[in-house]
């Protein structure tokens, strides 16, 4: 079966803006002087600190953990001294307990950071334990702990692992550069994942606007008949998990269901690299590749950044602002979260910092809906955003629910295309929160 | 920004001075705008406008200009009176004006489009909430109103040759001119004002001959000023489809259904091309049935809508009292639109069958 030029129904063409950074090699970011490491960077239970103020820590040392199964430990990204443990804003939430560590600049590795042995000799259980201990979470989206994702219940038969290299968000090139520069790590990580789940088919899906990444990965999978590359049409949101599964495997994840319901698990490229490094080097997830980009920064870059580094350090390293900034976004322009402050730290799930200029960030005038139906055409879930959003704006959340608001993946395609500039995704997101809150309180 | 460089080594201070905008994603918007869509429709209608002046003379231009000007005027007026924001810059009133004029015969008096646009804009469009909320196509509703109130003015068609004063449209010829007692039977039932249209058409249809098909295609035939040239309308329609302003499914299913139903109703094959090219079917299918607010937004709903309109058009033409039938079919389907949408809600991806 040829896996070429695949895609899903619906979606929208968005400008890429990737030319700013797609040709730039990953650079090591400057050593941060102080890091702010949140104890809750993932979906699931927050960690409790296991260090105290005044403790000396080393790179890769575990500093927070939780007894809960759905959680992921956090590690220090520098060697130095714990200055304080306090509540601070992070890119995804307002008040999160963070461990503040002052770096001594020596970057001494913790003794636990050492190779975990030959993949051939590791058992399924051992690999999962390595991944769990390394604190690996999904690095593209919600930050779901990887070891939980890779431990499906017995009754879910998994036959294929998909690696998500679509990277369909405009501007972001972190995964792209990783695939070009570390293709063998991606392939190794995929092999480790396949072994941990007990599956012998792996497919790496890449959008066709990254020919160099496709080439590099194809080169790296030579003589590996059970791993394939699938090339994908360039369309937003191709990288949405369920869209990716639909495009590559032709399967439809049921509404409210998970990929494992249709026999597959999807991992993002950065996550796969982190898994490879956890096995090969024993390295916990304490640094990641971040694209710092946008018209608002002078020199956009792909940086290898330590978790806990404040946004402002990185923007400074990219030459500072090129124009008066209007918005600073954690992530891409379609799904990223705009920030109140540049003091927030990079967390495991931060794939980009996007600085939009004041001019670009200007809100557009909203007109009444003209019923053109364009939002329906682009919605990958086949919702009727004009009605879901329309009821949501009127705070009629029951009606919004009846129009399947909860199936919305918040991709933003509807708001993007709307000629009347209606805040559809924005209001549907709000409705979802309300509906879920109401369900919980019942 | 115009490449202005803020000189700063300390990014932080700049951001502090400057309030950062915090909104929910997405943070970018496409270049699509309401104005652009409306402008595209106007562009698409331009060949037919030029054609109408060429075929019907300067009176056609006068009617179009009066119709557009009064539509825009009434929109501004009623919005001002209702203390709503004035939105004539969205250009939608211009389109209503053009389409309304397109439905008039070239011989129509100058005040006819003013009456029509007042009704279309004030009653049908603005009193129901303005652009996007009108449940009927304003231009068509305006035409229907004019036809009921001034049937004689609405159905006295001048030919494209200046020496011919009153002629019949090809569909009227087919309906009345072909049967020996066409005019008589139509006259016999002329008890309501609406049937005067039939009588007027039928009288002039007596003994007339069908035009050449090529003339019909180009538009060199009697009829309402904007509906006669299939060629020019199709050029504009192709533009709209390429620009993704209209959904090709509506016109294609509409016209195909009309065709199939006419065949099923026993219309002879030599008349079929006249039915497709004549009677405003092209104008209606591509430019009226595709009106956003009054047609369904759901993909299946659009097909149902088009099939319904096609069936009704054929039914009215063959069994009904009017030779044309396009506007009433579309208006009827406009009314059915909310119901159609309700029953054609798309199945959510991964949702239960
Ligand atoms: S895209 Fe915007 S204007 Fe068009 S139907 Fe949807 S909400 Fe209405
Ligand atoms: S309704 Fe939700 S899923 Fe559909 S396009 Fe809008 S944001 Fe995306």
Give the nearest ligand 1 atom to A417 CA: 1
Summarize pLDDT for B19-40 with one digit per residue, the tens. Answer: 788 888 999 999 999 999 999 9
CA of A140 from ligand 2 middle (Å) equals 18
Comparing CB atoms, the residue among B9, B132, B299 nearest residue A370 is: B132
Give the gap in angstroms from C-alpha B136 to the nearest C-alpha of chain A. 13
Q: Which of B348, B351, B353 to mutate to test the interface with A (most CBs of A within 10 A)?
A: B348
Q: A130-139, B17-26, B195-204, B309-318: which range is least confident on average? A: B195-204
Contact between A269 and A38 under an 8 Å Cβ cutoff? The reply is no
Among protein residues, the one with the nearest Cα to ligand 2's atom 5 is: A379
> For testing the chain A interface, which of B303, B349, B353 should be mutated: the one with the most A CBs within 10 Å?
B349
Higher pLDDT among residues B213 and A251, named by residue? A251
Q: Which residue has the higher pLDDT, B43 or B158?
A: B43
User: Can you tell me which atom of ligand 2 is nearest the CA of A413?
Assistant: 5
pLDDT on residue A95: 87
For testing the chain A interface, which of B2, B30, B84, B247 should be mutated: the one with the most A CBs within 10 Å?
B30
Residue B18 confidence class, pLDDT cut points 50, 70, 90: low
To test ligand 2's pocket by mutation, which of A380, A391, A427 has the most ligand atoms within 8 angstroms of CB? Answer: A380
Going by alpha carbons, the residue nearest to atom 5 of ligand 1 is: A371
What chain A holds in terms of domains, given with CATH numbers, is 18-23+123-280 (3.40.50.11540), 374-441 (no CATH)
Q: For ligand 1, is residue A53 a contact (CB within 6 Å)?
A: no
Scanning A336-355 for CB atoms below 8 A from B yields 336-342, 354
pLDDT at B60 over 90: yes
Which residues of chain B lie closer than 8 angstroms to A369, CB-CB? 132
Provide the mean pLDDT of chain B: 83
pLDDT tens readout for residues A28-53? 999 999 999 999 999 999 999 999 99
Please indicate whether residue A136, judged by its CB atom, sits closer than 6 Å to ligand 1: no
Among A386, A390, A408, A414, the mutation site with the greatest number of ligand 1 atoms within 8 A of its Cβ is A386
Least confident of A160-164, B130-134, B328-332: B130-134
- Which pLDDT does position A293 carry in this prediction? 96
Share of chain A above pLDDT 90, in %: 89
Q: Residue B7 in 3-state DSSP? A: coil
Please report the atom of ligand 1 found closest to the CA of residue A420.
3
CB contact under 8 A, A358 and B1: yes
Nearest-ligand number for the alpha carbon of A417: 1
Q: Could you report the per-residue pLDDT of A374-428, keeping only the tens digit for each?
A: 999 999 999 999 999 999 988 899 999 999 999 999 999 999 999 999 999 999 9
As given in the structure block, the two tokens for residue B37 are 């869509």
Residue B182: band (very low, low, confident or very high) from pLDDT cuts 50, 70, 90: very low
Encode chain A in three state secondary structure: CCCCCECCCCCECCCCCHHHCCCCCCEECCCCCEEEEECCCCCCCCCEECCCCCCEECECCEEEECCCCCCCCEECCCCEEEEEEEEECCCCCCCEEEEEEEECCCCCECCCCCCCCCHHHCCHHHHHHHHHHCCCECCCCCCCEHHHHCCCCCCCCCCEEEEEECCCCCCCCHHHHHHHHCHHHHHHHHHHHHHHHCCCCEEEEEECCCHHHHHHHHHHCCCCCCEEEEEECCCECCCCHHHHHHHHHCCCCCCCCCHHHHCEEEEEHHHHHHHHHHHHCCCCCCEEEEEEECCCECCCEEEEEECCCEHHHHHHHCCCECCCEEEEEECCCCCCEECCCCCCECCCCCCEEEEEEHHHHCCCCCCCCCCCCHHHHHCCCCCCHHHHHHHHHCCCHHHHHHCCHHHCCCCCHHHHHCCCCCCHHHHHHHHHHHHHHHHHHC
The CB of A370 under 6 Å from ligand 1? The reply is yes
Interchain proximity A325–B26, CB inside 8 Å? no
Closest C-alpha to ligand 2, atom 4: A379
CB contact under 8 A, A327 and B24: no
* A177 CA from centroid of ligand 2 (Å): 28
């Amino acid at each position: 079966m040829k896996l070429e030029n695949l895609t899903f129904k619906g979606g929208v063409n968005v400008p890429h803006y990737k030319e700013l950074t797609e040709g730039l090699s990953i650079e090591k970011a400057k050593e941060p002087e102080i890091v702010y490491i949140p104890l809750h960077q993932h979906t699931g239970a927050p960690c409790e600190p296991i260090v105290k103020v005044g403790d000396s820590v080393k790179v890769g040392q575990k500093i927070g953990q939780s007894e809960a199964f759905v959680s992921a430990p956090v590690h220090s990204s520098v060697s130095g001294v714990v200055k304080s443990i306090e509540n601070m804003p992070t890119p995804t939430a307002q008040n999160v307990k963070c461990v503040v560590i002052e770096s001594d600049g020596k970057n001494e590795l913790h003794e636990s950071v050492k190779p975990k042995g030959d993949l051939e000799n590791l058992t399924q259980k051992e690999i999962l334990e390595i991944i769990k201990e390394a604190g690996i979470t999904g690095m593209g989206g919600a930050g779901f702990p990887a070891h939980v994702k890779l431990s499906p219940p017995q009754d879910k038969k998994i036959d294929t692992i998909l690696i998500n290299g679509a990277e369909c968000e405009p501007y972001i090139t972190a995964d792209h550069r990783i695939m070009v520069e570390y293709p063998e790590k991606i392939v190794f990580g995929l092999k480790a994942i396949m072994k941990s789940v007990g599956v012998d088919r792996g497919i790496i899906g890449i959008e066709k606007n990254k020919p160099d990444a496709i080439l590099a990965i194809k080169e790296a999978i030579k003589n590996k008949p059970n791993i394939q590359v699938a090339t994908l049409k360039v369309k937003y949101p191709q990288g949405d998990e369920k869209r990716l599964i639909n495009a590559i495997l032709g399967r439809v994840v049921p509404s409210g269901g998970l990929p494992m319901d249709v026999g597959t698990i999807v991992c993002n490229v950065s996550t796969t690299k982190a898994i490879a490094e956890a096995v090969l080097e024993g390295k916990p997830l304490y640094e990641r590749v971040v694209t710092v980009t946008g018209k608002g920064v002078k020199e956009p870059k792909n940086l290898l950044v330590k978790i806990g580094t404040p946004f402002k350090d990185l923007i400074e390293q990219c030459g500072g602002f090129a124009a008066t900034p209007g918005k600073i976004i954690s992530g891409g322009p379609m799904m990223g979260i705009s920030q109140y402050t540049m003091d927030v730290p990079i967390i495991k799930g931060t794939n980009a910092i996007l600085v939009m200029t004041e001019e670009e960030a200007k809100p557009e005038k909203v007109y009444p809906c003209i019923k053109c139906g364009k939002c329906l055409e682009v919605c990958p879930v086949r919702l009727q955003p004009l009605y879901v959003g329309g009821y949501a704006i009127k705070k009629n959340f029951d009606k919004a629910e009846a129009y399947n608001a909860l199936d919305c993946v918040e991709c933003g395609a509807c708001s993007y295309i709307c000629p009347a500039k209606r805040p559809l995704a924005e209001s549907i997101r709000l409705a979802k929160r309300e509906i879920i809150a109401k369900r919980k309180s019942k | 920004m115009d490449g202005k460089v803020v000189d700063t080594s300390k990014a932080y201070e700049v951001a502090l001075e400057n309030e950062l905008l915090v909104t929910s994603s997405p943070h970018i918007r496409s270049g699509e705008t309401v104005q652009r869509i409306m402008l595209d429709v106007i562009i698409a209608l331009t060949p037919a406008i030029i054609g109408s002046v060429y075929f019907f003379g300067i009176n056609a231009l006068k009617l179009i200009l009066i119709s557009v000007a009064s539509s825009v005027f009434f929109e501004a007026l009623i919005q001002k009176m209702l203390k709503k924001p004035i939105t004539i810059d969205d250009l939608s009133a211009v389109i209503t004006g053009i389409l309304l004029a397109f439905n008039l015969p070239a011989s129509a008096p100058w005040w006819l489009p003013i009456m029509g646009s007042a009704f279309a804009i004030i009653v049908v469009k603005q009193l129901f909430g303005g652009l996007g909320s009108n449940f009927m196509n304003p231009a068509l509703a305006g035409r229907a109103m004019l036809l009921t109130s001034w049937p004689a003015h609405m159905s006295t068609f001048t030919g494209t040759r200046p020496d011919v004063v009153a002629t019949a449209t090809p569909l009227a010829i087919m309906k009345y001119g072909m049967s020996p007692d066409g005019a008589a039977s139509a006259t016999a039932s002329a008890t309501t004002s609406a049937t005067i249209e039939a009588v007027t058409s039928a009288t002039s249809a007596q003994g007339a001959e069908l035009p050449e098909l090529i003339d019909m295609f180009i538009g060199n035939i009697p009829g309402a000023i904007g509906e006669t040239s299939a060629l020019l309308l199709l050029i504009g329609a192709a533009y709209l489809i390429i620009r993704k302003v209209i959904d090709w499914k509506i016109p294609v299913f509409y016209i195909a259904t009309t065709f199939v139903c006419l065949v099923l109703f026993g219309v002879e094959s030599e008349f079929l091309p006249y039915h497709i090219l004549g009677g405003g079917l092209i104008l209606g299918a591509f430019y009226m049935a595709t009106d956003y607010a009054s047609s369904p937004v759901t993909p299946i709903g659009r097909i149902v809508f088009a099939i319904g309109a096609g069936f009704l058009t054929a039914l009215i033409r063959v069994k009904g009292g009017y030779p044309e039938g396009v506007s009433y079919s579309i208006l009827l389907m406009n009314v059915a639109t909310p119901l159609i949408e309700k029953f054609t809600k798309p199945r959510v991806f991964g949702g239960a069958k």
